[in-house]
Structure 1
Amino acid sequence: MDRSQGRKPLNKNQFFKREKVRNARTIRAEAVNADKRQISDDPSSRDLSESGGMLQLPDFISSRQYEMKQLQLAMHSSKTAGCTRVFQALPRRLRRRTASHNVKRIPKRMRSRAIREMLKNDQQISDKRKMEKNKKSHGLSASQLYRARMSLQLLRLVGKSTSMKLALPEEITAPNCHLRTKIRRLKKMIKDGNKRQQFYNNRMGSYDNTSVNKLAPMPRGKVKYMKRQKFFSWLPTHVWNAKRSHMMKRWGYHLAWSPTQKCFRATHRIGGDVATSDGTLCMDSSFYGTMVLSGPRLQEAVEALAGSQSVKKKYRSSKLWYEGFAYNLNDPSIVLGPLELLWVNEDTILVRLHPAIYVTVFQSLGEKFSSELTIQDCRYSLSSITLRGSNSLEALSRILRSSDHCRSFEQFQTASQIADPNVLPKKTLFAFNCIDPRHLAAPKSLGGSRTVPTVDDIINLQVQFPHEEVNQIISHLCDPQQRNESYKNQHTLKELAQRRRSLLNSDPKEGHKNCIPFSAESDPSFPVLIVRRPKSEDWLLILPWFWLLPVWFQLNRIPRVYHMGLRQMQQLDYENSRLYFPDDFPFTAVGHAENSLYNREASSAKWNRKPPSKRLNFDKIPNLHSDQLPSCVGEIGDYFSCDWRLLQIWRNGIKYLKLQGKDLKLFHAEKTTQFDNNGTRSIDVVNDVWELYKDISKNEETDLLPLTLTPPKEDTSKAPQLLITQTPLQVVPVSCQYLERGRPKDNARIYMVPRDQVDHWKQVHKGIFRADGKVEHNLQHPLPSVTDLIGFVTSGTFHLGEGRGVANGFIDADAAHNQPSNYVLVRNVGTNVYRLANWSQINL
């Protein structure tokens, strides 16, 4: 009887594959002698105790050791049994569609196997270089066409510019040569580098782009990409990130927003708690502006910019990294944004600022301290890398080598063996001269003793801190001449490859196979600064601008090192209950514009792109509040942002009505809104406050910020309308943890719990159970009043660490202090479902 039932029989390859998968999934077991384990009188040979209820773990493990090994082997072999091609065995972050036919896209350790597989299947092996040589040329290639067009544009510009005519050689004139000759000579002149190459001390074209008391020009990139950097500058790692990340244009830079692969859970595990972290997250943070201040009135300028806390002795003399706020020089009550600074010495200080406020601070310092202060704009001369994770220092120790004996480098070598950065002292800083990381053929751990550091070693990081060495390195890092000197004799990749090839061909007894030996006379070295930021809980590497790319390439070759973008920085700040600038800074001008302009425009455009049948109608959402205003239908406030102007007028108006001794009536049924003789709206009921908000949002545009972190100066002489609209609302940053299921979203509304509903929500917190013992979630809860709105959510989602929804936002300070409990109600925009949450204040 034919058992195939009409099916096509398997060929040799198909049968081999099926047997391979079957063998991989087969778990072998050792034959057990029952008499030896159960009948023997020896108690040590039995798995169970005499009572029969307690398992003897050592005996059981030793007897089942073979089965455990076979289980692990089966799990490992079954994982890769279905990968018939080598490119299918690659990890997800290394997979490329071109890897199936181009061996150049496969790691070197797997290329020989890939070539054998291609030859077995008669697949053509593609080599881009050979294809370009054998390809027939029909006209100009893409690069040649681009250069030809650029030359034509230059020629047209030469015809209009007298200064450029004088710069050209004498023989290049219209009657002497033809167009092609001009193009040929111009291409040669561009290739030779003109006369500006004489200022370079290296073949890489690296130079120090620093300006004193004025903003530095954008760095000169490749001619091919000049047009793309006309308004938005590229970071040194732009081309690398553009292939692996989603990019965005903001604040004059082209920045990495988020990796193309899903990484929300990986970011939480690696960049979060030390217990779960087993890798490193890195980001090119060179877009943060750096300036160096020096002068006789330095302490006065720093105190006006960063507050009195930044000029204390512990920051000026002990190399302690300061993190705080930058204030307006003319009005200290106005917060501009976050600020970081490091005192180099009594006369010099290094300041790092977000690019959104950098130009404002730079120009303000130049205007107020023009003659007494020297300001170096180091935006394009100092770069930085931000690292998070338990293996951050260990990853840096694999690629950084000191050029000479240095006590700070020895401390760095000791600290790199510590996985938990919380045991390190608050002042953890390393500075030393580093050799070119490209000298290493591959990242390698530091040699020497790998013993675990003791408590005395950790204490010595602060007790035996090398002040003189660190001061000298940081001074060189802040000096434009020393930074330019670090580029001297900077080697190209071809030169380094030639040196490495000569080492491989030399006597193997000499060693140096992994690292090209450093020569202080011919090889360059550059200063680096590694800082542990106590508030941000991450590591910051600061180095010269053109040394960032070699470090970045080597850093990303280390296993378990992943790149991240701005979105991952925001996620980590959210999970650690920290405010992320500028989204969580609505009390600053930049944060208010980010919310009311950029984020609102993006959300509104996304809503408008949907067809009318798929859009959520915000005006027809029922059962939002226990009461309803006549002039407010549906969702309250702006639908696509946190409406801070509404919160300011709303809370100030309610406070004004209470101070006047008036009842919080929603509206007058007998009359409409009243106006006085000057045309000013009378504020008598809550509906008048809402009408006032509509007047302000439609007609007036004010530069006054609606929020403040400090108590505002109250002026009772103002008219009621001006008192409500021009007095900023004092708010408190809070973190709201959901006490039941649900997930908060950005721009969600925060309500206080009415006093008559506190007992009900306390019972909900304890749990209302059904007859079967399960918690009842589908309950009809009492709705809050429209006057109970006290804040908005700036960042909200599901918190992987807490296992529940968590929302960061701001609430009215008066409502927070007068609440009988820490309960609040959170409602997402466009819904009528309220979630109970417990709020706690975020420390700034």
Structure 2
Amino acid sequence: MKGLPTVLDVEKFTEARAFEIDAMQTAMKNASASSTHRAWQMLPRHLRRRAASHDVRRVPLRLREKARAEMDPVRRKALGRSIPKRGKGKQISRTEAFLKRQRDKTWLETHIWHAKRMKMENLWGYRLAVQPTEKSFRPSHRAAVHGSILHDASYYSLIEIKGSEVIIKSLLEMCCDPQGPGIKRCMTGARVLDSHIYKPGRYPFDLIAPVTVLWMPTPPSAGDRVVWVRCHPAVHDTIFTALQTSASLSLQSAKQQDQSKHYEIEIADLRGQVNVFEIMGPKSSQVIKGALSPANDDKREEFKKFWSSLTDLQTTASLPRGMVVGFKVLDPRLKFPPKNARPQSNESGLPTSSPDFSFPTSILAQSQIWDEEKRNGLKKPRYKKKDLDERRSKNLVPGQGLNPLRQDDRIPVLLIQRSIENTASSNSALHGWTLILPAGWAMPFLSSLIFTGTRVAGQRERKTQAFEAGTAYFPRDYPFTDFYEQFAEERADEEKGSWERKPPAKRPNFEKLQTKSPWKPDWDVVLGIANSSRSTSDMVPTQRENNAPAGDADRHVIPWLLPVLAEINRLRAKRFLDALGPSTRAEDLWKGALVSVKLNMRRKGAPSDLAIIYRIEDAEAKQLMDVTTKKTRMIEHDPSTEIEISQATPSPASVIGYVTSGNFSLSRGHSFAIGAVPVAQFFNLQQQAQRLGMHQSTLVKVRNREGTVCCVGNLDLLEG
């Protein structure tokens, strides 16, 4: 007791023992966290992996001991027995196990990478990524608008047509959309052709799907030509049959014109022979420039000019649409990890100079990826990753890239400018690149592209890109195509089943809401061609019928009917197709035609898919115009008028269309929708706008199928 101090200064004592107190508190905190969290749950979200719970080496070093204590051996020891395993004779290899799981669907080369990070579904015979597991709806949109986002589109079908140029040109003219860009424009191979394909000789009926046509650049002295047709995998068989039929008709027509000449045509299925990546966003050019390294043996001046300008390219919108660039690149694993190319800028942050403009030419588009022997020779990389790692370990300076050797692979690729845009509005357009490379090289390229900071998109993000750009997306916005009917039926069965599983108090009563067709759009009723108890005039009455005699209405309708048939026959004659038969009347064409439209909400309201579009009567339109005018002029108005109009239940006879895609648009900052209405109803709305002096502002009401309130929007044609 003699050595103890007589007085204890608490403050000084605490300061002297502060380190020990802090260590004790940290230990207590770690001990409590260890009891409630496993090792991989302590990692940041972007580092969490499902494989970390099975492989201790996937956990950072500081948590490795804790993870090792939580592995399966501890569980087996606690149970007092070991989990039985297959005998050595019954064990199957990893490759055989994966092939066994692909009996009813096909995996992409990047499947395992996607399956660890995204939600997967069976679609069109493939196992595809639908959306990331993390919350990424808005970040994905920001990446497409301000950065870069990548989508593996290798599941798209590829059909090769090989033969005489005359026959291929006739074949494509017989089934492609005559209203789109001409086929001659892309025959040099310097551009791709985005068009729509119909059943042979059936334009404007029997639309199948949108397609992309790419010609192989060949010197004029060459004989046969090669064409690639890319299409949606769900309509591969239909398009393949349509091309075969068109080829037969073209050969038959050529033989009748000149029997001395002998033509041959070959149509092949190239599914699984190439991989395709879609890279969208303003930084996609810098990502391409940083991840890919062109081979040094390319002596083309056009390509050197293009590649040097890629660094300072702010957006691919400044390039010609559909421009094709072909070249060879080194194995991207040689210079892993890649670095994004950065455009040169001055002190203000603006680019120092605009890049040199590159015009599409057939020389610039040449690539060895068209050669089947080259593609087959590259299906398996010459060196595995472990071989390259062994070479990298011999570098004197760690982290440096490998110098390419003569034995290293040179991979031919195609780079195609891609734009998702609406011709009427370029503010919301998205631009980027489509990268085509041989089969077997998806993962080496994906690893380099992802390491640059590019986000990865699934099916949801790809649909959102088309919606934000204000363009139609197949099959969702293509009514009356065969695959749309299948898509609508599957969606209706799924949503109806979900609705039936809910109790009556937790689901909307569509009968009370007067929603006649809640599961799929009833286009026949909208067009007035359905066999219903109501007459056609009751379903879709025109505004002119209420204000003019029947004779006047007929005289006004005739000028719109006759040019329809004449214009279609002119386009068919342009493609050397016979005119429509006498059984096809102009009135029938006019009555059965749908037109794609876009809807911008005037104030509130967010239309969703399958929302119903109603016509507004003249009296309601005048009231809405008065309310809008008073708000604009800051005059007091009666809000009850607007509430009454929005809450009034529309008549079923005033239905004029349906929304195929609707949501809140992040790029516009308000609700937006894409739908379809009959052509006759669209002109009736325009006549109403002119009659009421609304300055071409066509007003409609939109009501969600489960809602009671109608929102007012402006309806315009969907161009592009």
Q: CA deviation at 1:790?
A: 0.4
Identify the residue that residue 332 of structure 2 maps to in structure 1: 437
Structure 2 residue 708 is the aligned partner of structure 1 residue 832: yes
Structure 2 residue 190 is the aligned partner of structure 1 residue 319: yes
Identify the residue that residue 93 of structure 1 maps to in structure 2: 46
Task: Say whether the 8 Å CA contact 1:299–1:311 is kept in structure 2.
Answer: no
Which amino acid in structure 2 is aligned with residue 141 of structure 1? K
Per-residue deviation, residues 105-140 of structure 1 (Å, max 9, x unmatched): 45xxxx35556xx6xxxx464697999999999686
Identify the residue that residue 526 of structure 2 maps to in structure 1: 647
Which amino acid in structure 2 is aligned with residue 807 of structure 1? A
- Give TM-score, length-normalised by structure 2: 0.75
Structure 2 residue 396 is the aligned partner of structure 1 residue 514: no
Shift of the 588–360 alpha-carbon distance from structure 1 to 2, 3 Å rule, reads: same
Q: CA deviation at 1:422?
A: 2.2
Structure 2 residue 664 is the aligned partner of structure 1 residue 798: yes
Per-residue deviation, residues 152-180 of structure 1 (Å, max 9, x unmatched): xxxxxxxxxxxxxxxxxxxxxxxxxxxxx
Structure 2 residue 127 is the aligned partner of structure 1 residue 250: no
Identify the residue that residue 155 of structure 2 maps to in structure 1: 287
Q: CA deviation at 1:499?
A: 1.3
Q: Percent of aligned pairs with the same residue?
A: 25
Shift of the 711–811 alpha-carbon distance from structure 1 to 2, 3 Å rule, reads: farther
Structure 2 residue 461 is the aligned partner of structure 1 residue 568: yes
Aligned residue pairs total 611
Residue 211 of structure 2 aligns to a residue whose secondary structure is: strand
Identify the residue that residue 424 of structure 1 maps to in structure 2: 319
Alpha-carbon separation, structure 2, partners of 1:456 and 1:658: 57
Alpha-carbon separation, structure 1, partners of 2:540 and 2:626: 33
Task: Say whether the 8 Å CA contact 2:369–2:412 is kept in structure 1.
Answer: yes
Task: Say whether the 8 Å CA contact 1:654–1:664 is kept in structure 2.
Answer: no
Alpha-carbon separation, structure 2, partners of 1:776 and 1:18: 62
1:817 pairs, out of 671, 676, 683, with 683
Which amino acid in structure 1 is aligned with residue 214 of structure 2? L
Q: CA deviation at 1:287?
A: 0.8
Task: Say whether the 8 Å CA contact 1:585–1:592 is kept in structure 2.
Answer: no
Which amino acid in structure 1 is aligned with residue 416 of structure 2? V
Identify the residue that residue 300 of structure 1 maps to in structure 2: 170
Shift of the 412–137 alpha-carbon distance from structure 1 to 2, 3 Å rule, reads: farther
Shift of the 18–644 alpha-carbon distance from structure 1 to 2, 3 Å rule, reads: farther
Q: CA deviation at 1:450?
A: 8.4
Alpha-carbon separation, structure 1, partners of 2:100 and 2:638: 62
Per-residue deviation, residues 745-793 of structure 1 (Å, max 9, x unmatched): 1111001111122111213434669999799477212554332210000
Shift of the 233–487 alpha-carbon distance from structure 1 to 2, 3 Å rule, reads: closer
Alpha-carbon separation, structure 2, partners of 1:645 and 1:551: 48
Structure 2 residue 638 is the aligned partner of structure 1 residue 759: no
Task: Say whether the 8 Å CA contact 2:175–2:201 is kept in structure 1.
Answer: no
Identify the residue that residue 141 of structure 1 maps to in structure 2: 85
Q: CA deviation at 1:583?
A: 0.8
2:211 pairs, out of 339, 359, 384, with 339
Identify the residue that residue 703 of structure 1 maps to in structure 2: none
Shift of the 791–481 alpha-carbon distance from structure 1 to 2, 3 Å rule, reads: same
Alpha-carbon separation, structure 1, partners of 2:284 and 2:717: 30
Higher Cα Rg, which structure? 1
Unpaired runs of at least 5, structure 2: 1-9, 11-16, 27-36, 219-224, 249-262, 422-430, 547-564, 570-578, 690-697
Identify the residue that residue 468 of structure 1 maps to in structure 2: 363
Identify the residue that residue 540 of structure 1 maps to in structure 2: 434
Residue 546 of structure 1 aligns to a residue whose secondary structure is: coil
Identify the residue that residue 652 of structure 2 maps to in structure 1: 786
Q: CA deviation at 1:801?
A: 2.1
Q: CA deviation at 1:607?
A: 0.5
Which amino acid in structure 1 is aligned with residue 190 of structure 2? K
Q: CA deviation at 1:549?
A: 1.6
Identify the residue that residue 410 of structure 2 maps to in structure 1: 525
Alpha-carbon separation, structure 1, partners of 2:201 and 2:469: 33
Shift of the 831–497 alpha-carbon distance from structure 1 to 2, 3 Å rule, reads: same
Alpha-carbon separation, structure 1, partners of 2:333 and 2:75: 29
Spell out the pairing of 1:4-83 with structure 2 (5 A cutoff).
none
Shift of the 353–659 alpha-carbon distance from structure 1 to 2, 3 Å rule, reads: closer
Structure 2 residue 236 is the aligned partner of structure 1 residue 358: yes
Identify the residue that residue 613 of structure 2 maps to in structure 1: 750
Structure 2 residue 436 is the aligned partner of structure 1 residue 494: no
Residue 169 of structure 2 aligns to a residue whose secondary structure is: helix
Unpaired runs of at least 5, structure 1: 4-9, 20-83, 151-190, 192-220, 622-633, 666-707
Residue 356 of structure 2 aligns to a residue whose secondary structure is: helix
Identify the residue that residue 51 of structure 1 maps to in structure 2: none
Alpha-carbon separation, structure 2, partners of 1:17 and 1:376: 72
Per-residue deviation, residues 411-438 of structure 1 (Å, max 9, x unmatched): 2342133232223333543221111111
Residue 104 of structure 1 aligns to a residue whose secondary structure is: helix
Task: Say whether the 8 Å CA contact 1:733–1:811 is kept in structure 2.
Answer: yes
Alpha-carbon separation, structure 2, partners of 1:807 and 1:458: 39
Task: Say whether the 8 Å CA contact 1:292–1:478 is kept in structure 2.
Answer: no
Residue 226 of structure 1 aligns to a residue whose secondary structure is: helix
Alpha-carbon separation, structure 1, partners of 2:504 and 2:715: 37
Give the aligned CA root-mean-square deviation in angstroms: 4.3
Structure 2 residue 478 is the aligned partner of structure 1 residue 588: no
Task: Say whether the 8 Å CA contact 1:767–1:775 is kept in structure 2.
Answer: no
Greater relative CO, 1 or 2 (CA 8 Å, sep 6+): 2
Alpha-carbon separation, structure 1, partners of 2:230 and 2:334: 30
Task: Say whether the 8 Å CA contact 1:324–1:339 is kept in structure 2.
Answer: yes
Task: Say whether the 8 Å CA contact 1:735–1:808 is kept in structure 2.
Answer: yes
Alpha-carbon separation, structure 2, partners of 1:409 and 1:234: 37
1:378 pairs, out of 252, 266, 270, with 270
Per-residue deviation, residues 568-601 of structure 1 (Å, max 9, x unmatched): 1111111111011111111311113212x11111
Alpha-carbon separation, structure 1, partners of 2:196 and 2:67: 61
Residue 313 of structure 1 aligns to a residue whose secondary structure is: helix
Shift of the 538–260 alpha-carbon distance from structure 1 to 2, 3 Å rule, reads: same
Task: Say whether the 8 Å CA contact 1:321–1:533 is kept in structure 2.
Answer: no
Alpha-carbon separation, structure 2, partners of 1:642 and 1:14: 70
Spell out the pairing of 1:68-217 with structure 2 (5 A cutoff).
92-96=45-49, 104-106=57-59, 111-114=60-63, 123=66, 125=68, 141=85, 148=90
Alpha-carbon separation, structure 2, partners of 1:658 and 1:228: 51
Task: Say whether the 8 Å CA contact 1:413–1:446 is kept in structure 2.
Answer: no
Identify the residue that residue 414 of structure 1 maps to in structure 2: 309
- Give TM-score, length-normalised by structure 1: 0.64
Which amino acid in structure 1 is aligned with residue 657 of structure 2? G
Alpha-carbon separation, structure 1, partners of 2:21 and 2:471: 57
Shift of the 727–444 alpha-carbon distance from structure 1 to 2, 3 Å rule, reads: closer
Residue 780 of structure 1 aligns to a residue whose secondary structure is: helix
Structure 2 residue 102 is the aligned partner of structure 1 residue 226: no
Alpha-carbon separation, structure 1, partners of 2:265 and 2:322: 28
Which amino acid in structure 2 is aligned with residue 763 of structure 1? D
Shift of the 105–126 alpha-carbon distance from structure 1 to 2, 3 Å rule, reads: farther
Task: Say whether the 8 Å CA contact 2:289–2:310 is kept in structure 1.
Answer: no
Residue 620 of structure 1 aligns to a residue whose secondary structure is: coil
Alpha-carbon separation, structure 2, partners of 1:315 and 1:403: 27
